[in-house]
Amino acid sequence: MINKSIKLVDLSKEIQKVPTRNGYGEGLLIAGERNHNVVVLCADLTESTRSLGFKNKFPERFIEMGVAEQNLATVASGMAAVGKIPFISSYAVFSPGRNWEQIRTTICYNDQNVKIAGAHAGISVGPDGATHQMLEDIAITRALPNMKVIVPCDSIETKKATLAAAEVYGPVYLRFAREKTAVVTTEQTPFNIGKAEIFREGNDVAIIACGPMVYEALIAAEALERQGISVMVVNNHTIKPLDKPTILNVAKKTRAIITAEEHQTTGGLGSAIAEFLSQVFPVPMRFVGVKDRFGESGNTDELMKKFGLTAQDIIIAAKEVLLIKEKPKIDEEISEIHSTDAKKLLGQISPDYFFRLRSGGVIKNISELKKAAKRMDKETFSHHVNQHKNDFSNWIKEVFKDQKLANLIKNCKTREDLYNTLTNVFKNTLRK
């Protein structure tokens, strides 16, 4: 279940979808009301980046820079040097994409108090295509000293992130999307820069996500729970500075992690977490994100499926990482099966104890079970193995009186698990 104490919306009800950039526009207005030093600069995308509301309310504190992103960054740096708090708004592919050198040299090198808002990030930009689908911005911003990098999960959190950015000193990169995103948080959901939030408790595997992928992670967790897999979901909105204590605790509790982001798997959220855990507490990991390729034009939902960014892709990754997590334990247990079991594993048994598959086939011994596991259809496997039972494990326990092997098979949640485990059992047994 979702951790209700952090006040999320109820996923069982219809979910409202709002562009995260709307939250940026709302946050700018509140920040402008709270502090007269807040100013906004835009590169000819005032309406699209939702800077228009600030322009209308505070025209004397708004500057339209035109199509000049390098100038956008350097002018903002100069304004910050005299006490202003500039927010610079553009598409992420242009800022920080086109003006990265100016951000590096005039903003980060000088540790100026400038906030960079990168809109239309990720492949969900859709029809605009590869040139406008920024998939590398987390990588190029988190590499910069003094930079904080925030990827809010929905419009409400984007508003909170904008307000927090206005109050914290130094360069901040805010990343948000164009497409409508599921609103999973509420006004009461906690948000603090540098603090990851556990949205759902679990023990078997953790999904650490940012941006719109947080919703996909929650949907995947619900589905996995129905399959008997306990899943933790972490909203890691701040990529830098990384919440190392929380990430370490998550790794120690679940010992298996999936990261999910609408960004290249190289250099993004997954890389940041892997870099940290590899030094202090390595665990098996899988990375859900864009795999070293550019985007393309298309419908947002189609692109999310094509690029492997859906809840189903997270589910597949979870099962893969659980196999790796269980392998050392399985190998240790397999090593305890003695060579005297070889005849039992391969031998024929009484017809009264044949295993009859739902599909009509008959399995006479464990060797045939291994072969059947490789070609068995999903429907047949799901009939015999689900959250309520494992017929194969029960058969082995009853007929062969082999509790250790039965326990191994009981942990097999997929056909691949079953086949791989039996293959390893036979290799180990026949080698002795």
Catalytic position from the list 33, 47, 69, 225: 69
**Sequence-ordered strand ranges (E) for 176-282:** 180-182, 197-200, 205-209, 231-235, 238-240, 257-264
Q: What's the pTM value of the predicted model, to 2 decimals?
A: 0.76
Distance CA 36, CA 338 (A): 77
Domain assignment of residue 205, yes or no: yes
Give the structural domain span for 40.
16-182
**Domain match, 58 and 83 both:** yes
Q: Do both 30 and 154 map to the same domain?
A: yes
pLDDT tens across 31-62, in order?
999 999 999 999 999 999 999 999 999 999 99
Distances in Å between the Cα of 184 and the Cα atoms of 10, 54, 151, 153, 313 are 8, 26, 14, 8, 20
Which of 215, 286, 279 lies closest to 242 in space, CA to CA? 279
- pLDDT for res 347: 54
Residues 174, 49, single domain; the answer is yes
Q: For residues 32 and 175, state if they share a domain.
A: yes
Q: Is residue 309 part of a domain?
A: yes
Looking at the structure, tell me whether residues 175 and 50 fall in a common domain. yes
Residue with the bigger pLDDT between 7 and 18: it is 18
Cα–Cα distance measured from residue 45 to residue 214, given in angstroms and rounded to the nearest whole number: 27
Position 430 scores a pLDDT of 45
221 with 368, same domain: the answer is no
Structure-token pair, residue 147: 């930079």
Q: What is the pLDDT of residues 321-346, one digit of tens each?
A: 998 877 665 555 555 554 335 445 55
Q: CA-to-CA distance for 365 and 426, rounded, in angstroms?
A: 13
- 249-300 pLDDT, tens per residue? 999 999 999 999 999 999 999 999 999 999 999 999 999 999 999 999 999 9
Are residues 112 and 139 located together in one domain of the fold?
yes
End-to-end CA distance of the chain: 46
Least confident of 7-16, 238-247, 340-349, 398-407: 340-349
Same domain, residue pair 75 and 160 = yes
Cα–Cα distance for residue pair 287/291, rounded to 1 Å: 9
Instruction: State yes or no: is 261 an active-site residue.
Output: no
Tens digit of pLDDT for each residue in 143-183? 999 999 999 999 999 999 999 999 999 999 999 998 899 99
Instruction: Give the CATH number of the domain where residue 45 resides.
Output: 3.40.50.970
Q: Are 117 and 91 in contact (CB under 8 A)?
A: no
